[in-house]
Amino acid sequence: MRVRRISTALAGTAAMVLALTACGTAEVGGGEGGGEGGGEGGGDTITIGVKYDQPGLGMQEGNAPVGFDVDVATYIAGELGYTPEQIEWTEAASANRETFLQQGTVDMIIATYSITDERKQVVDFGGPYYVAQQDILVSADNEDIQGPEDLAGKTLCSASGSRSANNIVDDMGIDAQLREAGNYSECIQLLTDGTVDAVTTDNTILAGFASQQPDAFRLVNNPFGEERYGVGLPKGSTDRCEQVNQAITKMWDEGKAVEFLESNFGETGFEYEETQPEIEGCA
Amino acid sequence: MEAFFSNIDKVVDGFSWTVRLTLLSALFSFILGVILTAMRVSPVPLLRGISTAYVEGIRNTPLTLVLLFCGLGLNSALGLHLSDQVMWDVFWWAVIGLSAYTSCFVSESLRAGINTIPVGQVEAARSLGLTFTQNLRLIVIPQALRTVVGPLGSVLIALTKNTTVASVAGLGVQEASRQMKLMFDQGIAPVLPTFFGFAVGFLILTLPMGYLFGWLSKRVAVVR
């Protein structure tokens, strides 16, 4: 009796294993067939990585982030067939943007993500949806500094890991002293105290900080260089990239892009671009 | 590993700042530590109180907070500058913060050393007519120091590693771990070999320290 029961159990297990294996094979086959179109329409949610600490662009308020990048992301997701409720926001710090895309942690990254040749080797980019330029933020009562060349002999704040201040000191050869801070919030604090004379980085980022205290700071509005903000996508998502580019063009044609810029940066005196930057082709 | 060694000049420059921070902070924290200990065992209640409050206050505050207070509080908000050159301004504030913090641990080690000295010695010194200061200078501190060479070595190793906080906490001082992050950010060196290389760099600094202090503590130990 006992022996028979065990052998029945064994036979059952073996059958199950067989069935599971068969199942697995079938699934792999099916997955390959429908892989490319899997995310579109049918998907329940889309995970988008944005900044959570960048006022005006992506800043956490309550449970969800707000800002220009978040508005753009919501619009593009809408064009891809996702309602705002279907968007899952994830914080994407600068350092882990590539990793998030490579590991599939997020479907898309819209987080002041500049398109560069190095990054193009590991991820795909839609857009650019906006071209930011480097600019200088000073305190409101400072009239001396009107452009990068006025920074000679001044103290400039550089955020850890950012090349913006080095652009001025090393590449443009302007003799300014650098004070390094952990991030731009700390730079703004140093600027408020008068420990540094100026903060330099993308004008969108500066305008975002200025929007928190419009009376305390002045954006010099003498931009130089360019940072093309793209929509980061996993490597090899050409179809998704084309859809994103269509959505970006539509966003500018409908005037939504300017609307988003005005609502996020309107009070700061930031002279933002009002025309769509030229779309780069998808790889 | 090759990419790491091709940037060896940057690595060496980073560590040279680590060494400068460590040596200056070690010197100041030792001096301050001895003063705090002398105050702690002095017959004046006010001095004892000040020393106790300082040591217990700073020792139990995270180093990050101490350095942030130096950088964003004293240097930036109150506008206290130690040099016209920003680079040296933040460097000296880092030395002050590290010394203020480490001196508490020096003081606690020394106090433990003092507790190992038999009370009879101090009483004998007093009965010979030595004043409190003479007693401390000639009898107590020399013996206490010889007892705590080992623990002071640990404090020095901790200090060496603690200098890495100076680059992140409000000051942005040049030192080895900042150099490492710069190398990551600029993408000029692969991550794992760089981590490994800098870890080895710290070992090269701290391992000999440990052995030196271990050897020294045996050599100068007070035989009782």
Query: Chain B residue closest to A190 (CA)?
Result: B76
Judge whether residue A18 has pLDDT over 50.
no
pLDDT tens figures, A221-240? 888 888 888 898 888 888 88
- For CA atoms A66, A274, A200, A146, give the dihedral sign: negative
pLDDT at A139: 87
CATH for the stretch A3-131+228-273: 3.40.190.10
pLDDT (mean) for A137-145: 84
A195 touches chain B (CB under 8 A): yes
| CB contact at 8 A, B104 and B36 | yes
Query: Chain A residue closest to B169 (CA)?
Result: A182
Distance, in Å, from the CA atom of A116 to the CA atom of B136, rounded to the nearest integer, reads: 66
In chain B the domains, ranked by start, together with CATH numbers, are 20-174 (1.10.3720.10)
pLDDT tens figures, B182-217? 777 665 667 788 888 899 999 999 999 999 999 999
Judge whether residue A114 has pLDDT over 60.
yes
Query: Chain A residue closest to B172 (CA)?
Result: A180
Residue B127's pLDDT band, with cuts at 50, 70 and 90, is very high
pLDDT at B128: 93
| B181 contacts A177? CB cut-off 8 A | no
| B168 contacts A160? CB cut-off 8 A | yes
Nearest Cβ partner for B75 among A160, A161, A195: A195
| CB contact at 8 A, A110 and A244 | no
Instruction: Collect all residues with Cβ–Cβ distance below 8 Å to B118 and sequence separation of at least 6.
Output: B224
pLDDT at A35: 36
| A118 contacts B85? CB cut-off 8 A | no
Query: Chain B residue closest to A161 (CA)?
Result: B185
Q: Using a CB-CB distance cutoff of 8 angstroms, which residues of chain A are in contact with residue B168?
A: 160, 182
Nearest Cβ partner for A189 among B72, B85, B185: B72
Distance, in Å, from the CA atom of A243 to the CA atom of A108, rounded to the nearest integer, reads: 12
pLDDT at A43: 59
pLDDT at A152: 83
Judge whether residue B15 has pLDDT over 70.
yes
If one compares A37 and B142, the residue with the highest pLDDT of the two is B142
pLDDT at B34: 94
| A161 contacts B181? CB cut-off 8 A | yes
| A179 contacts B72? CB cut-off 8 A | no
- For CA atoms B28, B30, B36, B38, give the dihedral sign: negative
Judge whether residue A118 has pLDDT over 80.
no
pLDDT at A4: 56
If one compares B8 and B207, the residue with the highest pLDDT of the two is B207
Interface of A with B in 201-260 (CB under 8 A): none
Least confident range of A264-268, B145-149, B192-196: A264-268
| CB contact at 8 A, B206 and B158 | no
Judge whether residue A144 has pLDDT over 70.
yes
Query: A25 to chain B nearest CA, in Å?
Result: 37
| B172 contacts A180? CB cut-off 8 A | yes
Residues of chain A with CATH 3.40.190.10: 3-131+228-273, 133-225
Judge whether residue A29 has pLDDT over 50.
no
pLDDT (mean) for B4-12: 82
pLDDT (mean) for A9-25: 49
Query: Chain A residue closest to B165 (CA)?
Result: A182
pLDDT at A15: 52
pLDDT at B188: 64
pLDDT tens figures, A49-66? 888 888 888 888 888 888
Helix ranges (H only) for A88-237 are 97-103, 117-120, 164-166, 184-193, 203-212
Q: 3-state secondary structure string, chain B?
A: CHHHHHCHHHHHHHHHHHHHHHHHHHHHHHHHHHHHHHHHCCCCHHHHHHHHHHHHHHHCCCHHHHHHHHHHHHHHHCCCCCCCCHHHHHHHHHHHHHHHHHHHHHHHHHHHHHHCCCHHHHHHHHHCCCCHHHHHHHHHHHHHHHHCHHHHHHHHHHHHHHHHHHHCCCCCCCCHHHHHHHHHHCCCCCHHHHHHHHHHHHHHHHHHHHHHHHHHHHHHCCCC
Nearest Cβ partner for B181 among A118, A160, A163: A160
pLDDT at A124: 87
Which one of B17, B76, B165, B178 makes the best mutation probe of the A interface by having the most chain A beta carbons within 10 Å? B76
pLDDT tens figures, B47-104? 999 999 999 999 999 999 999 898 888 888 888 888 878 888 889 999 999 999 999 9
| A160 contacts B79? CB cut-off 8 A | no
| B86 contacts A155? CB cut-off 8 A | yes
| B79 contacts A177? CB cut-off 8 A | no
Least confident range of A30-34, A74-78, B33-37, B69-73: A30-34
pLDDT at A5: 58
Q: Using a CB-CB distance cutoff of 8 angstroms, which residues of chain B are in contact with residue A151?
A: none
- Quick one: A124 exposed, middle or buried, by C-beta within 10 A (0-12, 13-18, 19+)? buried
Q: Using a CB-CB distance cutoff of 8 angstroms, which residues of chain B are in contact with residue A116?
A: none
Distance, in Å, from the CA atom of A31 to the CA atom of A53, rounded to the nearest integer, reads: 38
Distance, in Å, from the CA atom of A57 to the CA atom of B223, rounded to the nearest integer, reads: 68
Residues of B with CB under 8 A from a CB of A: 72, 75-77, 79, 85-87, 90, 167-172, 178, 181-182, 185-187
Distance, in Å, from the CA atom of A82 to the CA atom of A84, rounded to the nearest integer, reads: 6
If one compares B135 and A32, the residue with the highest pLDDT of the two is B135
The topology (CATH level 3) of A133-225 is: D-Maltodextrin-Binding Protein; domain 2 (3.40.190)
Interface of A with B in 122-161 (CB under 8 A): 155, 158, 160-161
Residue A28's pLDDT band, with cuts at 50, 70 and 90, is very low
Q: For chain B, what is the mean pLDDT?
A: 89
Instruction: Collect all residues with Cβ–Cβ distance below 8 Å to A259 and sequence separation of at least 6.
Output: none
pLDDT (mean) for A122-133: 86
pLDDT tens figures, A145-197? 888 788 888 888 887 767 777 778 777 878 888 888 877 888 888 888 888 89
- DSSP for A235-261? TT-HHHHHHHHHHHHHHHHTTHHHHHH
| A179 contacts B172? CB cut-off 8 A | yes
Q: For chain A, what is the mean pLDDT?
A: 78
Give percent of chain A above pLDDT 70: 84
A185 touches chain B (CB under 8 A): no
Judge whether residue B35 has pLDDT over 50.
yes
ipTM of this predicted structure: 0.70
Query: B171 to chain A nearest CA, in Å?
Result: 6
A116 touches chain B (CB under 8 A): no
Judge whether residue A32 has pLDDT over 50.
no
pLDDT (mean) for A122-146: 85
CB pairs under 8 A between A and B: 45
Query: B70 to chain A nearest CA, in Å?
Result: 13
A110 is written with which tokens? 């819209």
Residue A102's SS3 state is: helix
pLDDT tens figures, A76-111? 888 888 888 888 888 887 777 888 888 888 889 898
Helix ranges (H only) for A64-133 are 68-79, 97-103, 117-120
A178 touches chain B (CB under 8 A): yes
Q: Using a CB-CB distance cutoff of 8 angstroms, which residues of chain B are in contact with residue A177?
A: 85-87
